[in-house]
């Protein structure tokens, strides 16, 4: 009944107030204060009828349903609350260590006892306090308050012998802390960020970051030099090892890189939490006093650091020549193309992550950020995409970075065909979207877009697109973007060799046909300038010479050339005819066209396609006579 609920609610509020006073009482021992702190967490979860699942619950403070009140409480008592957290953490760490190193007698070997769910839950509850300190007191933490202590604790979570889940949580806490520190972070903390993923080294010589732990599994590493004050060597032991039934990732580097990219987003964006009347309320991940643009500022900081520390290692052949604002007509040299790279899995992680935030949002199901998909509503998902996209599109440097990483996708081995196709799908979306939906860098520098929905003479002029000043001067133009795509996509047509290639032939054929289909779409439905037409013709001629030899192979069905010949000849000839109907073609291009076709007259597919085209266009001419 309502009377019972009211009585229960009143009793709960009374108990909560008592516990709130006890946790701040310095006369109480740490265990008692922590017990009452746990009571507050448990009371809130029971009162809200919410499953207490770490780390998704944020508003755990039962006596404060207003996040601002929680922030005020923590800011007023942050030292006492952190003391409870720190001493409780040290205590549970000692208990975990003791269970792993108990002897029955001094002569017998160590006997390791399993870590139970009770022990894991106790650690999880303690870590929620750290999470609340970080999210409710960012202005205090940003001044390097407890910098050494937090660094030590987070490093313990990141120990390479810890449970996979615990190490991933360590990355989560570090990302929270790192974005709060921002430009106040010392070099030793930058080094930890640079080495969150195993196998990556710190670019700061004086600070190895986590590399020493990854490489040596050392139990005593000095990771915290040159912080606020000189400190001695910090003992960095594991907390608890992977438990029975905990599946190990097949690719550890890929697992942690994907986790890092995911957490860079969902530790910044708005998330959903329950409030007292059991409806959803959206609050920022970190409760800054000045909330204006804080999420964008935090993600931009993390992304810039990712560019600085990770991209050079993941893409060692990153080319600064990729420039959509100064597009060159030179075609790439595909003769020395090497697709076998041990670092390909990392490249694929970044490519898929980037494609996930640049592809048409209406066609997405948010596969790259599962935590968002699970706990967030549609509006919050849109906020996440807006924040990431605003960062990706905020400067010419970032726009060129997008296209360079996508160029790298075209260089991948076809065992990673899914990533190549994902990149092709992004460009397909950009080209086929209406002008108002295209990325801002596809606008022409004068603020309009010359793209037309068709080549029909009756097509009405498209009005100028309103330019969004927040993106800055990043407009490159539709023509530059499609020229860059058609040039970079040339790489997928390079024939492969090796023992595994026969199994990948169908993957390459499918990928090449997807590119040719986009070329065909542009020919039939997209306005192209003279320069763009010439670039497309040059690309198609290069593709023809790359794929097709003068003499056809005996078993066409087993070769790339045999499988692609019909599609290549059809695309080349139709494009040539369409180009001549729209722009003047130079004599040099005509000579190249005739030279290429004359060298391939042994291909029956060429004779057949040429015959069909001549018959078709003769019929059209006769119909007008």
pLDDT at 99: 74
pLDDT at 49: 37
Give CA–CA dist 522/296, Å, rounded: 35
Closest of 353, 351, 164 to residue 252, by C-alpha: 164
CB neighbour list of residue 164: distance below 8 Å, 6 or more residues apart: 242, 246, 247, 248, 249, 255
CB neighbour list of residue 225: distance below 8 Å, 6 or more residues apart: 188, 206, 207, 231
For residue 394 the two structure tokens come to 């905020």
Burial of 206 (0-12, 13-18, 19+ CB in 10 A): exposed
DSSP string, 453-489: S---TTPPPPPPPPP-GGG-S----HHHHHHHHHHHG
Give CA–CA dist 223/148, Å, rounded: 10
CA distances (Å), origin 519, targets 152, 361, 399: 55, 23, 22
pLDDT at 368: 47
To which residue do tokens 């959509």 refer? 324
Length of the chain in residues, anyone? 625
Closest of 68, 62, 53, 64 to residue 8, by C-alpha: 62
pLDDT in tens, 392-424: 999 999 999 999 999 999 999 999 999 999 999
Q: How many CB atoms lie within 10 A of CB 430?
A: 20
Over its C-alpha atoms, the chain yields an Rg (Å, rounded) of 30
Closest of 252, 266, 449 to residue 357, by C-alpha: 266
Residue 451 pLDDT level (bands cut at 50, 70, 90): low
pLDDT in tens, 306-344: 999 999 999 999 999 999 999 888 888 776 666 667 789
Residue 77 pLDDT level (bands cut at 50, 70, 90): confident
pLDDT at 104: 41
Residue 283 pLDDT level (bands cut at 50, 70, 90): low
Burial of 227 (0-12, 13-18, 19+ CB in 10 A): middle
Closest of 467, 455, 547 to residue 505, by C-alpha: 547
For residue 410 the two structure tokens come to 């075209």
The answer to whether residue 190 scores a pLDDT higher than 90 is: yes
CB 421 within 8 A of CB 514: yes
User: Regarding beta strands 280-283 and 271-274, do their DSSP bridges make them parallel or antiparallel, or are they unpaired?
Assistant: antiparallel
pLDDT in tens, 238-281: 888 887 777 888 899 999 999 999 999 988 875 444 333 333 44
pLDDT at 464: 42
Phi, psi angle pair for 105, to nearest 5°: -140, 165
Give CA–CA dist 81/130, Å, rounded: 9
């Amino acid at each position: 009944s309502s009377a019972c609920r009211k009585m229960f609610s009143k009793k709960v509020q009374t108990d909560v107030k008592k516990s709130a006073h006890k946790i701040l009482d310095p006369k109480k021992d740490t265990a008692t204060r922590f017990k009452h702190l746990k009571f507050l967490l448990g009371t809130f979860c029971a009162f809200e009828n919410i499953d207490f699942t770490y780390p998704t619950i944020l508003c755990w403070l039962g006596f404060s349903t207003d996040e601002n009140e929680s922030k005020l409480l923590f800011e007023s008592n942050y030292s006492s609350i952190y003391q409870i957290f720190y001493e409780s953490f040290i205590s549970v760490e000692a208990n975990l260590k003791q269970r792993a190193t108990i002897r029955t007698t001094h002569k017998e070997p160590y006997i390791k006892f399993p870590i139970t769910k009770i022990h894991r839950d106790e650690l999880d509850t303690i870590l929620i306090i750290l999470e609340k300190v970080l999210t409710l007191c960012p202005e205090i933490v940003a001044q390097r308050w407890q910098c050494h202590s937090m660094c030590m604790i987070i490093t313990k979570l990141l120990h390479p012998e810890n449970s996979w889940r615990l190490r991933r949580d360590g990355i989560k806490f570090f990302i929270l802390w790192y974005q709060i520190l921002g430009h106040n972070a010392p070099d030793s903390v930058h080094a930890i960020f640079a080495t969150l993923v195993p196998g990556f080294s710190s670019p700061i010589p004086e600070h190895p970051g986590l590399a020493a732990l990854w490489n040596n599994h050392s139990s005593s590493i000095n990771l915290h030099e040159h912080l606020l004050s000189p400190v001695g060597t910090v003992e960095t032991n594991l907390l608890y090892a992977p438990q029975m039934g905990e599946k190990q990732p097949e690719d550890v580097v890929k697992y942690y890189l994907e986790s890092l990219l995911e957490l860079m987003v969902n530790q910044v964006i708005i998330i959903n939490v329950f409030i007292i009347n059991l409806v959803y309320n959206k609050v920022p991940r970190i409760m800054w006093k000045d909330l204006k643009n804080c999420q964008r500022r935090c993600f931009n900081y993390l992304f810039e650091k990712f560019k600085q520390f990770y991209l050079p290692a993941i893409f060692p052949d990153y080319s600064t020549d990729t420039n959509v604002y100064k597009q060159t007509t030179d075609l790439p040299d595909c003769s020395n193309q090497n697709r076998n790279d041990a670092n390909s899995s990392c490249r694929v992680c970044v490519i898929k992550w980037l494609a996930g935030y640049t592809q048409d949002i209406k066609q997405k199901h948010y596969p790259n950020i599962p935590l968002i998909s699970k706990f967030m509503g549609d509006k919050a998902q849109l906020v996440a995409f807006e924040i990431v996209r605003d960062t990706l599109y905020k400067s010419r440097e970032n726009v060129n970075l997008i296209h360079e990483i996508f160029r790298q996708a075209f260089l991948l081995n076809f065992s990673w065909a899914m990533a190549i196709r994902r990149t092709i799908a992004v460009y397909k979306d950009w080209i086929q979207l209406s002008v108002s939906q295209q990325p801002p860098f596809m606008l022409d520098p004068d603020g309009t877009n010359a793209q037309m929905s068709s080549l029909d003479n009756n097509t009405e002029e498209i009005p100028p697109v309103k330019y969004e000043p927040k993106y800055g001067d990043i407009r490159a133009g539709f023509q530059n973007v499609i020229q860059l795509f058609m040039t970079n996509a040339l790489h997928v047509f390079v024939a492969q060799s090796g023992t595994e290639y026969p199994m990948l032939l169908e993957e390459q054929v499918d990928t090449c046909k997807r590119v040719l289909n986009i070329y065909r779409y542009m020919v039939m439905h997209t306005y192209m300038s003279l320069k763009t037409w010439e670039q497309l013709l040059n690309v198609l001629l290069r593709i023809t010479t790359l794929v097709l030899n003068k003499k056809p192979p005996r078993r066409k069905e087993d070769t790339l050339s045999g499988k692609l010949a019909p599609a290549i000849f059809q695309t080349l000839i139709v494009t040539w005819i369409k180009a001549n109907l729209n722009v003047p073609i130079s004599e040099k291009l005509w000579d190249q066209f005739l030279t290429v076709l004359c060298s391939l007259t042994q291909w029956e597919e060429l004779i057949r396609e040429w015959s069909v085209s001549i018959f078709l266009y003769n019929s059209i001419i006769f119909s007008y006579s």
